[in-house]
Amino acid sequence: MVPSKPRRSAPKSAPGKATPRRRPKPVIEADAGTDAEARGRRMSVRTGIFLLVVAAVLLAFLSPLNSALKQAQQIAALNNEIETTKAEVKSLEEKNENLRDPAYIKRKAREDQYYVEKGKNAVIVTNQEAVDEESEPERPVRKQAWYLELLESIQETGNTVEKS
């Protein structure tokens, strides 16, 4: 065989020589730790994004919840005010009814303003405790006459001086 054209390159396999095999590039196996770290990072990024979304939702709902709580407290305070005002109104209505009663007015005029009916004399007591018989302090009851007690105490004093 005669070549018709000259070759520019050598034949891939020369006669009598075996063709060298190309070895495939070895597949580098990733370490189990490296793969887990990558997965862990992905999970933490996903978790971080999830937490950010949850935080954004909470922040969106916190201000309305806060205002709702404040309004509930204000409503409770106003309800307390309403109850106290109702109690005051009730006591003022009772007082108004009493002021329409002539006997109540006479009694209050005598007690507070010291008014006296015609033909009666007014006596004002300034020291009420001195007048009350029940309020007198109880005096101690003596076993014997005062002069005998005095004599005994003098004798006891004299005895104590003589002994020392």
Higher pLDDT, 51 or 124: 51
For 20-70, write each residue's pLDDT tens digit: 677 777 766 655 555 556 555 566 888 889 999 999 998 888 888 889 999
Q: In this structure, how many other beta carbons lie within 10 angstroms of the beta carbon of residue 13?
A: 10
Higher pLDDT, 43 or 136: 43
Contact 149, 142 (CB under 8 A): yes
The Cα–Cα gap between 87 and 81 comes to 10
Contact 58, 51 (CB under 8 A): no
The Cα–Cα gap between 35 and 29 comes to 10
In the chain, count H helices and then E strands.
Answer: 4, 0
pLDDT at 97 over 90: yes
The string of DSSP letters for 92-131 reads HHHHHHHHH-HHHHHHHHHHHH----TT------S-HHHH
- What percent of the chain lies above the pLDDT cut of 90? 27
pLDDT at 164 over 50: no
Residue 54's pLDDT is 93
Region of 16 on the Ramachandran plot (φ > 0 left; ψ -120 to 50 alpha; else beta) = left
Contact 114, 124 (CB under 8 A): yes
- The mean per-residue pLDDT over the stretch 119-144 comes to 72
Q: What is the pTM of this model?
A: 0.37
